[in-house]
């Protein structure tokens, strides 16, 4: 450590929000260069490389072949896939000296597809699993939390190529299994959640989320069944339809100035309807403009029970790949039949507005909703009898206590950090690039693809987030920058020589040893050892004269004295033992 390029900081950096960011900076693992851009100092780089090596070994174990693409990528293939436009502001774009357009690649589907198409032409060449561990770029609107969400980061991205769906499922399962082994080896606590596809298009999709309170991803799970899903992917439990027999006819009321759900509920409870009315009895209609890629803006109304908001993420995912925006006053002015605050299903449908409702609005449910006239609502409007929507949409917010889609219990919410994604892309890119090979029957077969990612550099922060205490970092053995941290806490020349020899002996036994041979005080050294987070700390201190050294377990905090002359064997054994 007297030569290691390292300076630890006593205080948290001013702009650091989350524990991993604070500790990785304080312990000298990374340093900021610009927003979302970090340099890796020696200790951080060691952790990063160990994570890479775990990821690489598991990818090789499922037959993955490593290749490496440039990060600087020409526009052409992104035009073909339409992502040059779709990426919007989220990527870095640039021109070369000849004025040609380039992108700093956020992901490489296009180039893997083109490469496989260029090299292979027969079904005999498949299945094929390729991957790279590569630097990626995203121009995040709000880079945050240090390396948790940077603008330059390292990802492992894999792509599978198969001639049939069976092959794709096998590749998907193989990657899913490899990811489970990777995160287990890295000591990450995680859940696998169902996910919708997002901008990537395609079918089956799951995310690996590290459990963390500082995570940006909200997911829900059912403790009874183990079901877990991204909020975008939650499928609402659909109630049974209700028979129309005996349901009262709708009645229109003058409700006064009641443009909000709260004022409407107040009116209803004062109107003598003969029952307690809540927001859940009302039907709220939200007006949007939607545009399919290459299409025109069209009106869309979304009906949800009045006690729920429309969730922007769920709405976006449900409308994908269309873009959408809320109606503004000018839009309302253009469509006089839209009476703001009093919009009802009948007016929407009569005027040809596409109308999608929450799955809870099944046939036979009866609603208090707008009557399409200022100050007027209708009570007892029955779905399937008095109005028939154009379909359902998963846009209403998901709440704790909602029934689990599998019927096993209720949902609870949790936060996580996305660390992996497995995804059956299907033929989105092979269609775009006509990636066909000759099939067994001599006819062309369109390839089908899977896409799989692990956030390699992010994992450094994720693991720091999950494994730290108030004193500092606590690395799992598999990725600690060193196996053992030997602290010289005795100024005696004999102790110093003994500690140096002990470090050399441990090194010759295959352990990576960090020797604190600085001239600092024992107190400073102990604090640094706790901050740096190497799992085993050996203190050569006052006990040296009595033939003992101290072995501290950074994880449990346990410390015990061991005989100096048996220290090498004891420490090797301790580091080799599985940890709780």
* Segment interacting with a second copy (CB under 8 A) among 65-73, 300-308, 314-322, 526-534: 65-73
| Integer Cα distance of 214 and 218 in angstroms | 10
| Angle, CA of 443, 445 and 446, to the nearest 5° | 150
**Residues 163, 439 contacting (CB under 8 angstroms):** yes
- State which residue, 115 or 410, has the beta carbon closest to a second copy: 115
- State which residue, 167 or 345, has the beta carbon closest to a second copy: 167
- State which residue, 5 or 11, has the beta carbon closest to a second copy: 5
- State which residue, 68 or 333, has the beta carbon closest to a second copy: 68
| Integer Cα distance of 183 and 165 in angstroms | 27
- State which residue, 72 or 576, has the beta carbon closest to a second copy: 72
The DSSP letter of residue 363 is T
Q: Is 66 in the site for a second copy (CB under 8 A)?
A: yes
Q: Is 7 in the site for a second copy (CB under 8 A)?
A: yes
Q: Exactly one of 15, 53, 57, 67 binds a second copy (CB under 8 A); which one?
A: 67
Q: Least CB distance from residue 35 to a second copy, whole Å?
A: 8
Q: Is 61 in the site for a second copy (CB under 8 A)?
A: no
Q: Least CB distance from residue 482 to a second copy, whole Å?
A: 14
Q: Is 14 in the site for a second copy (CB under 8 A)?
A: no
Q: What is the CA radius of gyration of the chain?
A: 30
94-123: which residues touch a second copy (CB under 8 A)?
94, 96-97, 102, 104, 111, 115, 118-120
- State which residue, 472 or 481, has the beta carbon closest to a second copy: 481
Beta bridge partners, 282, equal 368
Handedness of CA 388, 392, 397, 401 (dihedral sign): positive
Between the two ends of the chain, the Cα-to-Cα distance in Å is 29
- Sequence-distant (6+) residues with CB within 8 A of 75 are 84, 100, 101, 102, 103
* Segment interacting with a second copy (CB under 8 A) among 38-46, 288-296, 352-360, 430-438: 38-46
Q: Is 262 in the site for a second copy (CB under 8 A)?
A: no
Kind of pairing, strands 190-194 and 205-211?
antiparallel
Q: Is 438 in the site for a second copy (CB under 8 A)?
A: no
Phi, psi for residue 19 in degrees, rounded to 5:
-55, -45
* Segment interacting with a second copy (CB under 8 A) among 66-74, 247-255, 274-282, 553-561: 66-74
**DSSP string computed for 522-579:** HHHHHHHHHHHT-SEEEEE-GGGGGTEEEEEETTT--EEEEEGGGHHHHHHHHHHSPP
363-392: which residues touch a second copy (CB under 8 A)?
none
- State CA 166 to chain mean position distance: 27
Q: Exactly one of 12, 13, 86, 93 binds a second copy (CB under 8 A); which one?
A: 93
Q: Is 11 in the site for a second copy (CB under 8 A)?
A: no
User: What element of type H or E holds 209?
Assistant: strand 205-211
Counting residues that bind a second copy (by CB under 8 A) gives: 49
Kind of pairing, strands 448-455 and 152-162?
antiparallel
| Integer Cα distance of 103 and 85 in angstroms | 11
- State which residue, 229 or 460, has the beta carbon closest to a second copy: 460
CA neighbours within 13 Å on the CB side: how many for 533? 31
- State which residue, 67 or 504, has the beta carbon closest to a second copy: 67
Q: Is 92 in the site for a second copy (CB under 8 A)?
A: yes
Q: Is 39 in the site for a second copy (CB under 8 A)?
A: yes
131-190: which residues touch a second copy (CB under 8 A)?
135, 137, 139, 141, 151-152
Q: Least CB distance from residue 563 to a second copy, whole Å?
A: 33
Residue whose C-alpha is closest to residue 537's, from 547, 523, 549, 520: 549
- State which residue, 4 or 438, has the beta carbon closest to a second copy: 4
Q: Least CB distance from residue 33 to a second copy, whole Å?
A: 6
Beta bridge partners, 161, equal 128, 449
- Which two structure tokens, joined as six digits, stand for 169? 């499922």
> Given the rule CB under 8 A, which residues bind a second copy?
3-7, 28, 31, 33-34, 37-42, 45, 48, 63, 65-74, 89, 92-94, 96-97, 102, 104, 111, 115, 118-120, 128, 130, 135, 137, 139, 141, 151-152
């Amino acid at each position: 450590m007297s030569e290691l390029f390292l300076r630890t900081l006593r205080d948290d950096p001013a702009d650091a929000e989350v524990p991993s960011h604070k500790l990785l900076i304080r312990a000298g693992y990374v340093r900021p260069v610009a927003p979302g851009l970090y340099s890796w100092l020696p200790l951080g780089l060691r952790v990063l490389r160990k994570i890479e090596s775990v990821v690489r070994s598991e990818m090789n174990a499922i037959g993955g072949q490593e290749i490496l693409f440039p990060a600087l990528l020409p526009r052409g293939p992104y035009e073909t896939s339409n992502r040059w436009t779709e990426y919007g502001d989220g990527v870095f774009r640039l021109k070369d000296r000849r004025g040609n357009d380039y992108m700093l690649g956020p992901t490489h589907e296009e180039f893997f597809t083109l490469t496989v198409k260029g090299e292979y032409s027969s079904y005999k060449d498949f299945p094929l699993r390729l991957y790279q561990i590569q630097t990626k770029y995203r121009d995040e609107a709000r880079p945050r939390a240090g390396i948790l969400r940077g603008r330059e980061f390292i990802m492992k991205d894999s792509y599978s190529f198969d001639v049939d769906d069976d092959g794709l499922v096998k590749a998907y399962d193989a990657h899913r299994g490899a990811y489970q082994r990777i995160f287990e080896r890295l000591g990450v606590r995680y859940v696998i959640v169902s996910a919708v596809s997002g901008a990537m298009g395609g079918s089956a999709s799951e995310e690996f989320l590290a459990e963390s309170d500082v995570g940006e991803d909200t997911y829900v799970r059912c403790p009874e069944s183990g079901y877990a899903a991204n909020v975008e992917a939650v499928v609402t439990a659909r109630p049974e339809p209700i028979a129309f027999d005996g349901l009262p006819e709708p009645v229109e009321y003058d409700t006064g100035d009641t443009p909000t759900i709260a004022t409407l509920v107040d009116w209803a409870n004062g109107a003598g309807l003969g029952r307690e009315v809540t927001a859940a009895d009302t039907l709220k209609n939200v007006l949007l403009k939607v545009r399919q890629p290459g299409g025109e803006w069209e009106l869309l109304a979304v009906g949800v029970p009045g006690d729920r908001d429309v969730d922007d993420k769920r709405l976006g995912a449900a409308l994908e790949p269309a873009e959408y925006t809320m109606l503004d006053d000018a839009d309302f002015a253009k469509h006089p039949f839209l009476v703001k605050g009093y919009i009802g299903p009948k007016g929407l449908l009569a005027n040809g507005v596409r109308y999608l409702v929450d799955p809870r609005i099944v046939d036979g449910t009866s609603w208090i909703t707008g009557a399409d006239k200022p100050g007027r609502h209708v009570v007892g409007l029955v779905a399937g009898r008095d109005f028939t929507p154009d379909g359902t949409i998963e846009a209403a917010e998901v709440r704790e206590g909602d029934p689990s889609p599998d019927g096993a219990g209720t949902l609870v919410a949790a936060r996580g950090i996305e660390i992996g994604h497995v995804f059956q892309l299907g033929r989105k890119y092979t269609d775009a690039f006509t990636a066909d090979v000759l099939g067994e029957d001599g006819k062309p077969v369109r390839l089908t693809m899977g896409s799989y990612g692990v956030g390699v550099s992010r994992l450094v922060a994720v693991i720091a987030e999950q494994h730290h205490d108030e004193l500092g970092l606590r690395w799992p053995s598999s990725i600690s920058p060193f196996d053992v941290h030997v602290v010289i806490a005795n100024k005696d020349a004999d102790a110093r020589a003994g500690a140096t020899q002990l470090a050399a002996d441990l090194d010759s036994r295959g352990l990576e040893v960090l020797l604190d041979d600085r001239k600092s005080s024992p107190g400073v050294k102990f604090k640094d050892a706790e901050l740096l987070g190497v799992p085993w700390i050996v203190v050569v201190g006052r006990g040296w004269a009595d033939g003992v050294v101290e072995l501290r377990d950074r994880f449990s905090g346990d410390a015990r004295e061991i005989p100096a002359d048996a220290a090498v064997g004891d420490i090797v054994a301790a580091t080799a033992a599985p940890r709780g």
